[in-house]
Amino acid sequence: MVKHFPLRRGLFSRSAGRVHAVDGVSFRIRRGETLGLVGESGCGKSTAGRTVLKLLQPTAGRIFVHGEDITDLDTRAMAPY
């Protein structure tokens, strides 16, 4: 999973680059397991969690739940998950 945020600069919000908040994160959680994200302040823990919960859209990569790709599902289609 990848999540980048654009950096804006100036009066007209010119793009000045990107912040690589999460880059190349991959994990699998099996039934009964618990996962903890641990790291320094600002390392992307919250962004990774928000992206997995679909509060943020990933820049690249896919999110699978029970083997099904949920990356592009809307709120209504997410109800069973």
pLDDT of residue 19: 82
Q: How confident is the model at residue 6 (pLDDT cuts 50, 70, 90)?
A: confident
SS (H, E, C) 2-56: EEEEEEEECCCCEEEEEEEEEECCCCCCCCCCCCCCCCCCCCCHHHHHHHHCCCC
pLDDT of residue 45: 92
Question: Number of folded domains in the chain?
Answer: 1
pLDDT tens-digit readout, 13-70? 667 688 888 888 888 998 899 999 999 998 899 999 999 888 999 999 999 988 899 9
Range of the domain at 64: 2-78
Looking up tokens 């997995």, which residue turns up? 52
Task: Write the CB contacts of 10 (distance below 8 Å, at least 6 apart in sequence).
Answer: 16
In angstroms, the CA 55 to CA 47 distance is 9
